[in-house]
Amino acid sequence: MSYERLIARRFLQRDKNNFSRPLVNIATYTIALGVVVMIMAICILRGFQHEITNKVIGFGAHINIRSYAYVNDYDEAVVTMTDEQVHKVAALPLIDHIQPVANKGGMLKTDDQIQGIVFKGVDRTFDTSFFASNLIRGHFANTFDSSAANEIIISQRLAQKMHLDTGDKARTYFWAGNTYRPRAFRIVGIYNTDLSEFDDHYIIGNISQLRTINRWDTSAATSYEVIINNFKHLDQALNDVKSVTRSDLAVTSIVEEQPSMFAWLQLLNSNIALILIIMAVVCSASVVSALLIMIFEKTSMIGLLKTLGSTNSSIRRIFILKAISIVGKGIFVGNIIAIAFCLMQQQFHIIRLDSESYSMTFVPIDANPLIFILVSAGTFIVASAALLIPATYISHIDPAKTTRQE
């Protein structure tokens, strides 16, 4: 063991008479608190981004193939793709699934309420995992059995507003030319995503109902939804789908269809960056202050070590090793607290949110281990680099003066 490390370890021993001891404790707690704040800020904001992104994609898929005549989900611009064209898209390496859907605007009516809706028609190829995970009662509409074609699921918000529940009949009206066509559906499930923009309007049922109402053929749809296996590769997947799709069809990503939503989510990254910068400065200032106090307190010892032949670099190494131990302890404690909070929030949802304001009922957590590693490594590097500034003061200490003072 080098003598620098040996002396640095002697610093670690608790001495109640040391003036620097409370400052060392404060520095340790400050770093721990800073690490907790940084980790939790990233975990919460990334969790929020992922939760909202998944909900928006759950209603609209990653990529949509539509007619150029499409304007919004109330439109009925028909698109048809042959089995060969669908297989070309499905065979792309980044594509996980492709499914036809049809949307049609209408009205949901009860004895005393009326509400505009969008009926989303799906078939047996539809990926039900999103709605299944958000069902609070009942089951997903049966799209395999033609005798159950009148089954639908509606949102909890619609159910409460219209005073409906599973097992009830839902009277709906759809415009067809200059007249309207009524349909009586049976509610078999209630879902809730807390995303009011969609929950207020969407009901999900069998696509055959819309094909019958609009007198379409059995392969007609208003869009083909494409689900990819990794959101990070959305741009590449979009280009791949465009390359195998007919030129008369519009291929758009969910980011292009919901620009304001994703611009807002992207803006959250600037909040993360600001928090990281502020906490990094606070942690660095705290450990630098503690190191300066230790240097001032041990000025006579520094002079004695210089008298005995120690170089400035060796003495700097002693104090930096001591300060690094403070940083390491603070990072370790901060990680333990952050891990405990993440686990408790994930399991018990301790911190609740107003779903009307935040589109979710609890604070979401993305407890990716890489976040803990990067924050810890970044804090250690920044704080350690900051220690070089006060350590340069050691070279200005004159051993002759400190010896005379003693």
pLDDT in tens, 20-55: 678 788 888 999 999 999 999 999 999 999 999 999
pLDDT of residue 399: 67
Q: Does any domain span residue 375? A: yes
Which of 247, 275, 297 lies at the terminal end of a domain, its last residue? Answer: 247
Are residues 389 and 290 both part of a single domain?
yes
pLDDT of residue 36: 95
pLDDT of residue 334: 95
Question: Which whole number is the average pLDDT over 184-194?
Answer: 96
Are residues 238 and 363 both part of a single domain?
no
Are residues 216 and 85 both part of a single domain?
yes
pLDDT for 220 beyond 60: yes
Are residues 240 and 369 both part of a single domain?
no
pLDDT of residue 222: 93
Are residues 84 and 193 both part of a single domain?
yes
Q: Worst-scoring range by mean pLDDT, 81-85, 154-158, 206-210, 302-306?
A: 302-306
- Would strands 179-191 and 151-155 be described as parallel, antiparallel, or unpaired? parallel
Question: What percent of the chain shows pLDDT beyond 90?
Answer: 58
Question: Which whole number is the average pLDDT over 110-132?
Answer: 93
Domain count along the chain:
2
pLDDT of residue 18: 62
Which of 247, 276, 296 lies at the terminal end of a domain, its last residue? Answer: 247
Segments forming the whole domain that contains residue 397: 3-54+262-405
Q: Does any domain span residue 59? A: no
Q: Worst-scoring range by mean pLDDT, 63-77, 113-127, 139-153?
A: 63-77
pLDDT of residue 73: 65
Q: Does any domain span residue 148? A: yes
Q: What is the C-alpha separation between 125 and 104, in angstroms, rounded? A: 19
Are residues 277 and 395 both part of a single domain?
yes
Are residues 7 and 87 both part of a single domain?
no
Question: Which whole number is the average pLDDT over 3-31?
Answer: 72
pLDDT for 289 beyond 70: yes
pLDDT of residue 403: 56
Are residues 269 and 191 both part of a single domain?
no
Q: Does any domain span residue 253? A: no
pLDDT of residue 86: 95
pTM of the model: 0.84
- Average pLDDT along the chain: 88
pLDDT for 2 beyond 90: no
Question: Which whole number is the average pLDDT over 162-186?
Answer: 90
Q: Does any domain span residue 63? A: no
Are residues 214 and 308 both part of a single domain?
no
Q: Does any domain span residue 288? A: yes
Question: Which whole number is the average pLDDT over 364-393?
Answer: 89
Question: What percent of the chain shows pLDDT beyond 70?
Answer: 93
Q: Does any domain span residue 61? A: no
pLDDT of residue 19: 61
Are 242 and 152 a contacting pair, CB within 8 Å?
no
Q: Does any domain span residue 256? A: no
pLDDT tens digits, 339-357 = 999 999 999 999 999 888 8
pLDDT for 6 beyond 80: no
Are residues 390 and 315 both part of a single domain?
yes
pLDDT tens digits, 224-263 = 999 999 999 999 999 999 999 999 999 999 999 999 989 9
Are residues 111 and 226 both part of a single domain?
yes
Are residues 304 and 371 both part of a single domain?
yes
Listed residue (169, 174, 176, 175) closest to 154, CA to CA: 169
Are 317 and 4 a contacting pair, CB within 8 Å?
yes
Which of 247, 282, 298 lies at the terminal end of a domain, its last residue? Answer: 247
